[in-house]
Amino acid sequence: VDSLRKEYKVKKGGFFFKKNRKAATKNISFCVRKSEVLGLLGPNGAGKTTSMYMLAGEVKPIAGEVVLCGNVPAESPGILGYCPQNNSLWPNLTVKEHLEIYAAVKGMKKEDAGVAIRRIAEALELKEHMGKAARKLSLGVSRKVCFAISMLGNPNIVLLDEPSTGLDPKGQQRLWRAIRAAFKNKDRGAILTTHYMEEAEAVCDRVAIMVYGKIRCIGSIQQLKSKFGKGYLLEIKVKESHQVDQIHKEIIRIFPHAARQDRFSSLLVYKIPKDNVQSLSQAFLLLQEAKRAYNIEEYSFSQSTLEQVFIELAKEQEKEDFRLNNTFQWRHLRTESI
Ligand SMILES: Nc1ncnc2c1ncn2[C@@H]1O[C@H](COP(=O)(O)OP(=O)(O)OP(=O)(O)O)[C@@H](O)[C@H]1O
């Protein structure tokens, strides 16, 4: 994906903005490797769905280029599978009919289609729903059907726009297993948008975080945590509450800029800035010594979670929204006063 840009016309309060176009994606570029699931994360309005629409060919970009498998046309059968955010199913057709129609559209032979449909129905626990009309399906089952349709015919590239929305935890786990199995060590790749950090951690090999129409960062989850995580989280479970003050002093001695977060009599929680930790082995050595010296029940010392990284980066979009909204109100007021 090379420098993909999309702008929409903006209309607010019944009239157009002075600059009446808003960029939903600002020249985004990235690539998806074979056997990789690339996660596209971002706050609401960051431009994920617009990106998916452009990749699927539903929306025309104003600039940029998408190259699929060495520039094979997207409409070639077997190239692209797409699970859009909305469950676009025919209300009166059954699940089986949906799968058979899409298999035929994708050019699958009838025997191959039968085998593939049985296999995917089993993997996603869809068997008992095969004869039901789409309008009678729950949101979660409809979602699974859309995913199944996108995977039919083993496409080389699959676009999954929030595939697990509406699924219960067990259904999510099943779907994640199916996604992993479909792409791991296979000659194909996927782009998956999600609001669930757990989903990104479970299925994505790399993650791109979009903020305000731009790809703010891209890399493996570990790389993003190391680069954008603000530090570490230390949680200490205290056995003898009279020792809290001494333990606190010891923690400040080990990590001089540790910031205490919560105040419970038996739990101490600290945020530790990165530069207070020269080496992880040294930090664990000192914490082990403190554990023995103060009879600490247990402690955990962990890196920022993907969620914390996401929240930090998403703040940039909030700031930008605030700035734009205020500019707009100011213009609005001026227009009204004229
Ligand atoms: N048809 C449209 N007309 C005008 N503006 C649009 C249109 N579709 C999207 N936008 C705007 O483009 C920006 C990106 O929207 P998009 O739906 O791609 O974000 P998103 O990251 O998918 O959000 P969400 O997580 O809520 O699905 C937003 O500011 C949105 O308001």
ipTM of the complex: 0.96
> What letter represents residue 156's amino acid?
N
Q: How confident is the model at residue 319, as a pLDDT?
A: 66
> Do 272 and 143 belong together in one domain?
no
Q: How confident is the model at residue 303, as a pLDDT?
A: 85
- Residue 230, pLDDT > 50, answer yes
Ligand 1-lining residues (CB < 6 angstroms): 8, 24, 42, 44-50
- Residue 255, pLDDT > 80, answer yes
- Establish if 195 belongs to a structural domain: yes
Task: Say how far apart CA 37 and CA 192 lie, in whole Å.
Answer: 7
> Do 104 and 243 belong together in one domain?
no
Q: Which of 192, 226, 260 is the last residue of a domain?
A: 226
Atom of ligand 1 nearest to the CA of 47: 18
Which DSSP category does 305 fall into? P
pTM: 0.81
Task: Say how far apart CA 283 and CA 303 lie, in whole Å.
Answer: 13
Q: How confident is the model at residue 220, as a pLDDT?
A: 93
Q: Which of 195, 226, 257 is the last residue of a domain?
A: 226
Best mutation site among 44, 324, 325 for ligand 1 pocket (most ligand atoms within 8 Å of CB): 44
- Establish if 333 belongs to a structural domain: no
Distance 23 CA to ligand 1 centre (A): 10
The DSSP code sequence of 63-97 is: EEE---TTT--TTSTTTEEEE-SS----TTSBHHH
Please, which pLDDT band fits residue 257 given cuts at 50, 70 and 90?
Answer: very high
* Alpha helix segments (H runs only) across the chain: 48-56, 95-105, 110-123, 139-151, 169-183, 197-203, 221-228, 244-254, 280-293, 306-337
Q: How confident is the model at residue 228, as a pLDDT?
A: 84
> Do 162 and 213 belong together in one domain?
yes
Q: How confident is the model at residue 283, as a pLDDT?
A: 93
Atom of ligand 1 nearest to the CA of 6: 12
- Residue 191, pLDDT > 60, answer yes
- Establish if 25 belongs to a structural domain: yes
Number of domains in the chain: 2
The SS3 assignment for 4 reads strand
Mean pLDDT across the stretch 241-245? Answer: 87
> Do 179 and 33 belong together in one domain?
yes
- Residue 214, pLDDT > 50, answer yes
To which H or E segment does residue 38 belong?
strand 37-41
Please, which pLDDT band fits residue 338 given cuts at 50, 70 and 90?
Answer: very low
Best mutation site among 48, 55, 60 for ligand 1 pocket (most ligand atoms within 8 Å of CB): 48
Please, which pLDDT band fits residue 323 given cuts at 50, 70 and 90?
Answer: low
Mean pLDDT across the stretch 162-181? Answer: 92
Task: Say how far apart CA 221 and CA 228 lie, in whole Å.
Answer: 10
What contacts 289, CB < 8 A, 6 or more positions away?
none
Q: How confident is the model at residue 334, as a pLDDT?
A: 44
> Do 222 and 235 belong together in one domain?
no
Q: How confident is the model at residue 116, as a pLDDT?
A: 93
The CATH number of whichever domain residue 237 belongs to comes to 3.30.70.1150
Sign, CA dihedral 164-141-176-4, equals: negative
Q: How confident is the model at residue 231, as a pLDDT?
A: 86
The SS3 assignment for 157 reads strand
Question: Are 163 and 83 spatial neighbours (Cβ–Cβ below 8 Å)?
Answer: yes
| Nearest alpha carbon, ligand 1 atom 11 | 24
| Nearest alpha carbon, ligand 1 atom 2 | 8
Domain residues for 280? 231-303
Which DSSP category does 133 fall into? B
Higher pLDDT, 281 or 335: 281
> Do 107 and 219 belong together in one domain?
yes
